[in-house]
Structure 1
Amino acid sequence: MITPGNTFTIAELAAELDGVYLSIEGGDIELPYASSNSENVKDGLFVAIAGSRFDGHDFIDKAFQNGARAVLLSNPERLGTKPGIIVPDTRKAYSALSALYYGNPSKECKVIGVTGTNGKTTTTSIIYEFLKNFSYLPLRIGTLGAEAQGIISRGRGLTTPDPMELQALIREAVNGGANACVMEVSSHALDQARVNDIQFDVAVFTNLTHEHLDYHGNMERYFDAKRSFFHLLAEKSGSSGVAVVNADCRYGKKIVNEIRSLKLCDYSFGRTEGCSWQIVNFEQDMNGSAIALNFNNREFTLKTNLIGRYNAENLVAAVAACHGIGCNLDKLIAAAENVPQVPGRLQAIEGAPGVFIDYCHTPDGFQVVLSTLRELTAGELWIIFGCGGDRDSSKRAPMGNIAGQLADRVVLTLDNPRSEDPEQIIKDITSDGLKPEFVDLDRGRAIKKVLEAKCDDDIVLIAGKGNEDYQDIKGVKYPYSDLEEVKKFYGL
């Protein structure tokens, strides 16, 4: 992470954040950076954030032992005689000061944010590829890591990084010549104010389905987090903000109904009558798909090597988002034909006919991916999957049910069990009566068995991990890749 370009005194930060500066010792203190990590805050400002598992206020003494000069906190009783700034909400304040330290870099480029349960990574990746066809040098941030050609290349991390890392990435990219940024915006990031001080120009909503209820508690609170993105867009960009919303999703319809009151530009999309980018026809085969669209009374067709109705939605969302920042529609139509395959997203493997790898790990993800492959399967449809441990367990049985309904043969295996007992995860998946072909907790061996049994007309979906390169078992991440297992079997 690059060093912040700005430095502040504690009094200056207190004024910028509308906080109360308290110091028994008196005098001003220079703070060259801030961190929410008590182990890495020497000579800086420690930000005490009350999280779902840990409360940063419990680490104030530790931070000062590690060299912190001051603390940003919301509970004044925890300050003692130490210098600090008291604010109502340290998450929001951390976002604001992160932007201050790096000089608000998102104001120096176009920014497109993509949120939704499924499709964030694919849509973000397509937008990134599109922008390279125009006068943009884009930065992409998300599940696949951070990348700006010739400037930044970082591996996987959080879908949406913490505010300081996020601002640092954008500053580094902008300093290197980037003039656009496309990023995945998770519901956690929205709820935790990580993107509060990003100057978004376009907000994309792909869909909302069962996921992350272990964090949000229920679907309405999950939706409230997603919906807040469009209120943030209205706050930052006003009437110039472009809202690209899936009008076919029932939650998307609610956002579309709010767009006018928020005074945002309506770029809704889908098959729904009256949306701005209306899908009027869809056709596909194993080589790709064609999406007939109507926008501004113009009818045209997007041709792509991507398959699946949900990928049609992702592609249309990407076209609309790029058009929203001024990209020429005819050039976007041409660029759609050459969109590269997104790693781990319904990824076909050259030399392994009929084998696909996909990251789908929710009931809706299973529904749309298996439905797509069901249409294209001449023989039998296989699925190999497990469910992640220490995550929302209520989705396991529904995923098992959908797999049993849409696939001919279901094989259960391991998928990042973390601290949970893998056998219990399997019991949860089969609790509604799913009868798997077999269970093998060695994922690589399970894949090998299925590929040995697969007939020429069969299709195999290896689901849940996508392009992940590890198995998370009891706190240890062991090297593992679905793609490498398939390549090994076929000698690729």
Structure 2
Amino acid sequence: MPRVLLSELIELLPEVRLSGASDIQVWVTDVACDSRKVKPGALFVAIPGQQFDGHDFVPDAVARGAVAVVVEHPVEVTSVPVLQVPHAREALALLANGFYGFPSRRLLLVGVTGTNGKTTTTHLIAHVLRTSGLSTGSMGTLGAVLDGVGEVPISHTTPEAPDIQYVLYTAVQNGVKAVAMEVSSHALHQHRTLGLEFDVAVFTNLTQDHLDYHKTMENYAASKRRLFVDYPPRSTKHAHVVFNLDDPTGRQWYEESVYDRWGYGVSSPDACVRASEVRLFPDGVEMRVVTPEGEHHVRVPLGGAFQVYNILAAITASLALSLSPDTVVNALRDVPQVPGRFEIVSNRRGITVIVDYAHTPDALENLLRSARALQPRRLITVFGCGGNRDRSKRPRMGAIASELSDLCVVTSDNPRNEPPEAIIDEILQGIRQREDVRVEPDRRRAIALAIESAQAGDMVVIAGKGHETVQIVGDQRIPFDDRQVAREMLEG
């Protein structure tokens, strides 16, 4: 682990007021924002949160061995230096970046943001980079994985700033040359990624999600826009920005951008990377892709029409990194399955069972339209909506699922601290015709009901959880994997 003088870290803060102990020539051996994780030698940053205020835990952090604390308002501490700053989260990111030696400067770093497609696009980019011969890492919803290291534990799609910087530092220390990472709107709004220097920033799309946090679509968009407006001018690198030109927001940001911009799409003639002659199969997508260097036939073993845009985003980002089209196209031919993304559960009953993470209105609609395009005899959908999250999308998702399915089973999906029945009632408000709708709050029974109702030639889509392996009920995380439950029901 690094060891940095507090005096050197203080120089990274644009505005700071010192109090408490006067000795700032002390060694810092960690940066933390959770007092429970503080070890002797740590610099503790007190973050005002939605549920807890880190300032309340400053005494605990000092008792655990913190050599200094960062705060937004005065605290009664005299035994260690106190650094008062206007914005603790910004300070946390800057301090963590400096403590770990600005690791993103020594990596090829690709950041992917957007409502849908972040995980798959990141997965595709990492695979292309790895196949091209670069030791590669990825970070996002599926965790953080580095070649030669394995999995590095993280807690969120985009974790807290010290965790991000630790992953990138570990990558550098182990010879990793490139990292592809998801960048969530929460992370951008909370400055968790502040200080990262991206070689390429990718925008997938913008549709409704996270309004429980951002309140309005304008706020949501503004958070994501930071990656393309605020980050490039702060970087020591030549930044490339990549936009989906078929998305209205992507189109607008592309036209406003003053940086090295790249556009991709299907229906946008001016896109430098665009697809045509798309053919869909249960286990993959084929298409012709036009690039600045010519046309290419692309075959990717990932199902779903929505994958077309993820594939185009990955191709465009790879070209922006100066990889050849042939290298990219060849790499995509054998990309591994993305866990919980249009993942087929094999069986001998002649039923196509698909598990997918779709948990927004747009993602659910794209998923079900992709399923319909495969022309099943009947389409049966199992889905629910998460508790303590954006309530306004529930009736919309109910309408989408019922209109695009022959049979819709409404169930629970991480109800958290809300009654499952109350969530389901809000979903049902969007459903006009309920003759082909079943309600089963128990998710295991709901999956069983769907599979029992299916016959050969039918398709069962289980949406919402994808790769997840727990059901969150109250404060409990109960083991639950849609894929495993589906296998059990198919074999039973």
The TM-score range, normalised by the shorter chain, is over 0.9
Structure 2 counterpart of 1:491 = 491
Amino acid at match of 1:7: V
Q: Please give the per-residue CA displacement for 1:236-292, whole angstroms capped at 9, x wherever unaligned.
A: 447831111111111111211122x2x223344442121211223322133422222
Deviation at 1:301, TM superposition (A): 2.3
Show the 5 A alignment for 1:161-176. Answer: 161-176=159-174
Pick aligned residue for 1:78 from 57, 75, 79: 75
Structure 2 counterpart of 1:257 = 255
SS at match of 2:392: helix
Alpha-carbon distance in structure 1 between the residues aligned to 2:9 and 2:289: 50
Alpha-carbon distance in structure 2 between the residues aligned to 1:128 and 1:176: 17
SS at match of 1:240: coil
Pick aligned residue for 1:201 from 194, 199, 202: 199
SS at match of 2:131: coil
Show the 5 A alignment for 1:40-439. Answer: 40-43=37-40, 44-75=42-73, 77-79=74-76, 81=78, 83-154=81-152, 157-237=155-235, 240-259=238-257, 261=258, 263-296=259-292, 298-351=294-347, 353-434=351-432, 435=434, 437-439=437-439
Alpha-carbon distance in structure 2 between the residues aligned to 1:155 and 1:165: 9
CA distance 1:26–1:284, shift in 2 (3 Å): closer
CA distance 1:168–1:239, shift in 2 (3 Å): closer
Report if the CA contact (8 A) 1:239-1:265 is conserved: no
Deviation at 1:80, TM superposition (A): 5.5
Consecutive unaligned residues in structure 2, runs of 5 or more = none
Deviation at 1:215, TM superposition (A): 0.5
Amino acid at match of 1:309: A
Structure 2 counterpart of 1:39 = 36
Amino acid at match of 1:449: L
Q: Please give the per-residue CA displacement for 1:279-320, whole angstroms capped at 9, x wherever unaligned.
A: 233221334222222222622221222233310110111111
Larger mean Cα displacement after TM superposition, 63-72 or 447-456: 63-72
Amino acid at match of 2:456: D
Q: Please give the per-residue CA displacement for 1:352-403, whole angstroms capped at 9, x wherever unaligned.
A: 6410000000000111000110111331101001111011111000000000
Normalising by structure 2, we get a TM-score of: 0.94
Instruction: State the identity %.
Output: 36
SS at match of 1:389: coil
Structure 2 counterpart of 1:7 = 4
Alpha-carbon distance in structure 2 between the residues aligned to 1:421 and 1:166: 34
Amino acid at match of 2:474: K
Consecutive unaligned residues in structure 1, runs of 5 or more = none
Report if the CA contact (8 A) 1:383-1:410 is conserved: yes
CA distance 1:122–1:40, shift in 2 (3 Å): same
Alpha-carbon distance in structure 2 between the residues aligned to 1:90 and 1:237: 21
Structure 1 counterpart of 2:16 = 20
Deviation at 1:107, TM superposition (A): 1.0
Alpha-carbon distance in structure 2 between the residues aligned to 1:336 and 1:421: 43
Normalising by structure 1, we get a TM-score of: 0.94
Q: Please give the per-residue CA displacement for 1:207-254, whole angstroms capped at 9, x wherever unaligned.
A: 111000011110011000111101244224478311111111111112
Amino acid at match of 2:345: I
